[in-house]
Chain A
């Protein structure tokens, strides 16, 4: 699997996701500077976490307008898989590749720590190495991860199986106690209609080694390798 990782001014988890991908594929992904409108053919585009453009204006809003995102939109339309993590989820959403929006955390504070997620489907490029209903532990680190969409959109997402992960308690219960940021229906990650684009707030790339935060996030990258190699 050949992966490309976008780098915006202010991106800061591009190295973490590069390390995770290298761990499962054995090859270094290419890093794409935001000013480059064109880049080599690739099997996967990753929009990493960070504070692109300082999160000024609105998280992800400026990055969504960069030349490289025009190219990403084009390739996504051709079916190239796109993974947006944290700020990358915000950027991909701002770019119109995923429905909904990410608002300020309910308690108005940045939050960093492990959360539990319930895998909602194993039927995707991104989750085929998980079991549906499986509970995994991965960290979050964000101030604006409060997912919101209107009722019609939510209904469509639910009906079409476009919800990838939900926040839950350690036993898999979906309730407010496991929800770190107030996301509607505990949504932590969503797909587009074709399930070729996925965005999520948690950081699977920071859960790929047992000594450093556990390894529950590794299967996400292994899923991609399985599907795209």
Chain B
């Protein structure tokens, strides 16, 4: 190099406008953020440079409002190989294998264009996982839609589900689990959170940090088009009535190309040609190149003319900010270009050497022989804005006494009403559109257990995985809700017999500039951190989605928890289906009859009030460890954790899933009124069906775990003595009819 890198001043592009305060504002940069930019650059930026800063400093890429809080989450455990900060988290699952996983939101795009928004959400999270060297083995998704009566809801459900299926099915990755809720708070801002779990050998994990002066930087995958420009900035603002005009900022996915990219990357990864690899997600080429260079402490010179382009007439600004899908950036070892090129050409993908690593710690971009951007990399990262935004915690609402809630007038009707309400009705209409069986490893399918369980290829281990959050609890009291979301995920893994290992969190909240929203975020983090610590359940990856508001109305705070656990012998795993008569039905855990924020209260009495059920983490741990031990001892035929809808809903789900009835009653001496006992949502509880009832009850007593027999399985009906008597067929029909009927209704 003849002139020092920082002396190479960029030229302006033809017709490039002068930077005005309005242009700065359109890029989502606050005026003090722009001042900071000027200080780093020491001069006015070009449009390309402004665009790069805008993307890198967007909430989506920089985590500027959430960073200080995310640090409070526990991220360490002996089995954690890689915590937050990489493309996905990595945990050791034994036998030289690692599970690599993450959950990520695609909320804003999915509201604007549901099919493509959801599809590219799946595509993005798959890339995050396979870029680390893992073959994806399962997908999950957590969806929150608005009120079913809202005119857009049906269209959004239809598009999102088709988009998730369209992408995952084509990729050949089973979609094995998830959750779907409806609430009016999501009317203008749905949530689409997608999770991928992959498996890699522990000694073949790939990271993003660039290394090796002069090493080639290679672009592979699809060509770059004009789609998704400013996606990261769009995802970092509130919605308003103009949002639908932002459709061009939504990316368009091509799962076929991603499938080829997956196979090509895994083929290249089997060689030793790769130094570092990073997918191009939000803010595309900008964030991937900056992250790789920054993590490696190096500089990068890129010749943008070399970037494969979908159409003519594209300019550097568009190339750097496009969010075209199915693209990767790879640092190769020197001299390996031809070997790599052959693999990508075999898979009919683009391959281009677009630059090389330097020691300048600067990003220098050229176009038609001119320099168009020259940015010092470290300050862009280290001096990125970080905000300690004002926050105000939500007060704990008054505890609602069960005696203040009327019992149902008609018990049979109340159970049917709950089993068919939008949140509890069967979601079979959704998951039958997802290939959940491909790969032939799915041991516990959707709706057959609290968590999905898939066999780890090449052995007898099983991976259990789930996604959980109860947004109404988080809304009522974020600390309790955060605690509960983690505890429920832990419980769901436990109910299959697996040992919960780690968490990925997807934090969906409103506008962080409002102290009460920031307080929800802070409270949820505090609660989650407590649960993660108490349950040895570290957070290894995650994603934050803020500004989930429309016209100033925020969503329910939704910290979705994705979790993974392992069971050494998949033959020991149990589901929640009740398939045989004559088994003892045992309730594990204590029931006070907690009706505050319950589904019963909301669906039967139209009230969303009271404190959510408290989460006693010591009890969670004790009860869960006990249940897992009983499953491991092969004493358990079926197990179901209790959550939404409480005991009776949980039991009804077990009965209809397995086609076997049950006869139960509240144990003698129950203090709670019947409706609180059967519909209360007390935490840390499980129902177990077992042929070894006496052994389990004795073991529970010895372990200091509350456990009581409620009755027996058998017969064609669910009977609660003196209260409920319903044929399973009737419950099943009500449970399964709601969603298809809703989706097929003509507006």
Question: Bound pair: A and B?
Answer: yes
* Whole-angstrom distance between the Cβ of A109 and the nearest chain B Cβ: 6
Interface majority SS on B: helix, strand, loop or mixed?
mixed
Q: Taking the complex as formed, is A111 at the interface, i.e. its CB lies under 8 A from any CB of chain B? A: yes
Q: Determine whether A54 belongs to the interface, using a CB cutoff of 8 Å to chain B.
A: yes
Contact A208 B432 (CB under 8 A): no
Taking CB atoms, residues of chain A closer than 8 Å to B431 are 112
Interface locus among B25-33, B165-173, B392-400: B165-173
* Contact between chains at B433 and A110 (CB < 8 Å): yes
Closest to B260 in A: A9
Are B169 and A212 within 8 A (Cβ)?
no
A19 at the binding interface (Cβ < 8 Å): yes
Name the residue of chain A whose CB is nearest to the CB of B442.
A212
Contact with B along A52-81 (1 / 0, CB 8 A): 011110000000000000000000000000
Does A54 lie within 8 Å of B440, measured CB to CB? no
**A9-B256 in contact given A55-B170, A211-B443, A212-B440 (Cβ < 8 Å):** yes
Task: Check: B582 CB closer than 8 A to any chain A CB.
Answer: no
* B254 lies within 8 A of chain A by Cβ: yes
| Residues on the A chain within 8 Å of B441, using CB | 212
Which residue in B166, B172, B436, B437 is a CB contact (below 8 Å) of A12? Answer: B172
* Residues A212 and B443 in contact, CB atoms below 8 Å apart: yes
What are the residues of chain A within 8 A of B616 when measuring CB–CB? none
A139 contacts B by Cβ under 8 Å: yes
Could you tell me the distance in whole angstroms from the C-beta of B431 to the nearest C-beta in chain A?
A: 8
List chain A residues, Cβ under 8 A from B434: 110, 112
Binary contact readout B280-319 vs A (1 if CB under 8 angstroms, 0 otherwise): 0000000000000000000000000000000000000000
In the complex the two chains form, what is the Cα distance from A213 to B176 in whole Å?
13
Interface residue? A222 (CB, 8 A): no
Task: Give the docked Cα–Cα distance between A202 and B263 (Å).
Answer: 25
Residue of B166, B435, B442, B455 contacting most chain A CB atoms (<10 Å): B435
Listed residue (B171, B259, B438) with the most chain A CB atoms within 10 angstroms of its CB? B438
A137 at interface, CB cutoff 8 A: no
Say yes or no: A111 contacts B256, CB within 8 Å: no
Question: Contact at A16–B438, with CB atoms within 8 Å?
Answer: yes
Q: Are B440 and A112 in contact (CB under 8 A)?
A: no
Q: Determine whether the beta carbon of B259 is less than 8 Å from that of A51.
A: yes
How many interface residues does chain B have, given as a range? 20 to 34
Q: Does B406 contact A (CB under 8 A)?
A: no
Q: How far is the CA of A117 from the CA of B441 in the complex (A)?
A: 22
- Given A10-B256, A13-B438, A208-B440, residue A110 in contact with residue B570 (CB < 8 A): no
Bound-complex Cα distance A13 to B441 (A) = 12
Beta-carbon nearest neighbor of A12 in chain B? B172
Residue contact B437 to A141, C-beta cutoff 8 Å: yes
Set of chain A residues within 8 Å of B571, measured between Cβ atoms = 211
- The yes or no answer to B255 lying at the interface (CB within 8 A) is yes
CA distance A117 to B256 in the complex (A): 30
Q: Tell whether, in the assembled complex, residue B438 and residue A109 are in contact, meaning their CB atoms are under 8 Å apart.
A: no
What are some 8 contacts across the A-B interface (CB < 8 A)? A13-B438, A20-B440, A51-B259, A54-B254, A110-B165, A112-B432, A141-B437, A205-B440
10 tightest Cβ-Cβ pairs between the two chains A and B? A12-B172, A54-B256, A141-B435, A51-B170, A112-B435, A16-B440, A139-B437, A206-B440, A110-B433, A206-B437
Residues of B at the A interface (CB closer than 8 Å) are: 162, 165-166, 169-172, 254-257, 259-260, 347-348, 431-443, 455, 570-571
New contact pairs (10) apart from A16-B439, A19-B440, CB-CB < 8 Å:
A9-B259, A9-B260, A10-B256, A51-B170, A54-B254, A143-B169, A206-B437, A212-B443, A212-B455, A213-B442
